[in-house]
Copies of this chain bind each other. A is one copy, B any other.
């Protein structure tokens, strides 16, 4: 009998298969973005609705903990479909014996993260499982956002010639968690980038009325997100390896751990696809925001039929590498 593997939760190929074959099929899910965009009968307003469970191990890591990660992650999922996040719920699955002091630290940091992001935690739930049947703490956050009129993003909007923009340095979250898990310290130290992106997203919308699509490269990293964009749009994504902003600490840690920064999770970075004539003003505006200071164009969309659904990486010496989705699991329980 087929059994669930760690890789089914990694954000890569196995997970996409599981979602396609079981969840999307049975639940009749349509487009699979970071959040669903929904409407209500008799109400003109569009809303975004999303859910994410967090099982990161360890619970505390350089730069954050599971609580703020859970709030920021759901805020970001709502932001990626162009909505303004408003309300969040928090569901806790606690293992018997968990220290109440740790719970308190985590809850306080969730309240702080919510305040920073301007969202309200309005409902919650607490379950406790027997010792040995959980792993300290799992948190689910679900969220609702309001989609301002006229904002419609998605892979269908992507056109040949569009630019691929990244908002910041990549790989920090995954490396910070892996280092903590394995008792490693790097110099310079690597700190998780967990942050709420809704402020940056609003700044972007203030200068661009035709952003095509946004997605935050969490599990599976930048490579997996780009591959999703290529597959869902039916276009080809070409990236210049040289323009990928990998911080030195992440690069060194990845060499040591045998990881590819392109597949390492980020929790405060977004990838946006924008029309070429708006890329300049977008980058300029993003650079004014603390989370966009390192914003850069990293590639573009092309449309040759034979390259449909492909991600190509141009190396500094003029070669071209085909980038695929994360296969199996590289970094389990990173978020």
Where the two chains meet, the residues of A that have a C-beta atom closer than 8 Å to any C-beta of B are 1-10, 15, 18-19, 22-23, 26-29, 35-36, 38, 40-43, 45, 47, 49-55, 57, 86-87, 89-101, 103-104, 107-108, 110-111, 114, 121-130, 132-135, 138, 140, 142, 144, 146, 332-333
Knowing A9-B94, A22-B103, A140-B140, the reply to whether A125 touches B53 (Cβ < 8 A) is: yes
A71 → chain B closest CB, angstroms: 10
Give the distance in Å from the alpha carbon of A106 to the alpha carbon of B306 in the complex: 40
Are A89 and B23 CB-contacts (below 8 A) given A5-B96, A49-B122? no
Selected contact of A98 from candidates B4, B86, B101, B121, CB within 8 Å: B4
Give the residues in chain B near A108, CB-CB below 8 Å. Answer: 26
Check B6–A130 contact: CB distance below 8 A: yes
Q: Are B87 and A123 in contact (CB under 8 A)?
A: no
Taking CB atoms, residues of chain B closer than 8 Å to A129 are 9, 55, 135, 138, 333
| CB-contact partner of A4 in B7, B97, B107, B122, under 8 A | B97
Task: Identify the 4 closest CB pairs spanning chains A and B, nearest first.
Answer: A9-B128, A142-B142, A51-B89, A36-B122
Hey, which chain B residues are within 8 Å of A49, CB to CB?
Answer: 87, 89, 122-123, 144
| Given A43-B43, A126-B9, A52-B1 contact (CB < 8 Å) | no
**Further contacts, 7 of them, CB under 8 A, given A6-B96, A132-B132, A133-B135:** A3-B99, A4-B97, A4-B100, A6-B128, A51-B123, A53-B125, A129-B138
Once the chains are docked, how many angstroms separate the CA of A333 from the CA of B126?
A: 11
Residues of B within 8 A of A99 (CB): 1-4
A-B contact pairs, 15 of them (CB 8 A): A3-B99, A4-B97, A4-B98, A5-B128, A8-B126, A27-B111, A29-B122, A51-B124, A53-B125, A53-B140, A91-B140, A127-B333, A130-B135, A132-B132, A134-B134
Q: In the assembled complex, how far is the CB of residue A154 from the closest CB belonging to chain B, in whole angstroms?
A: 15
Given A124-B51, A144-B49, also A104-B22 (CB < 8 A): yes
Q: How far is the CA of A147 from the CA of B30 in the complex (A)?
A: 26
The reply to whether B91 and A1 form a contact with Cβ atoms under 8 Å apart is: no
Asked whether A111 lies within 8 Å of B26 as measured between CB atoms, the reply is yes
Contacts of A9 in B (CB 8 A): 94, 126-129
B91 touches A27 (CB 8 A): no
Contacting residues, chain B, for A124 (C-beta < 8 A): 19, 23, 27, 29, 51
Question: Are B53 and A92 in contact, CB atoms less than 8 angstroms apart?
Answer: yes
Complex CA–CA separation, A15 to B125 (angstroms)? 10
CB distance from A329 to the nearest CB of B (A): 8
A73 to chain B, nearest CB (A): 10
Q: Which residue of B lies closest to A101 (CB)?
A: B1
CB atoms of A333 and B55 under 8 A apart? no
Contact B1 A100 (CB under 8 A): yes
From B3, B29, B123, B333, contact of A97 by CB (8 A)? B3
Chain B residues with Cβ under 8 A from A92's Cβ? 53
Shortest CB distance A150–B (Å): 15
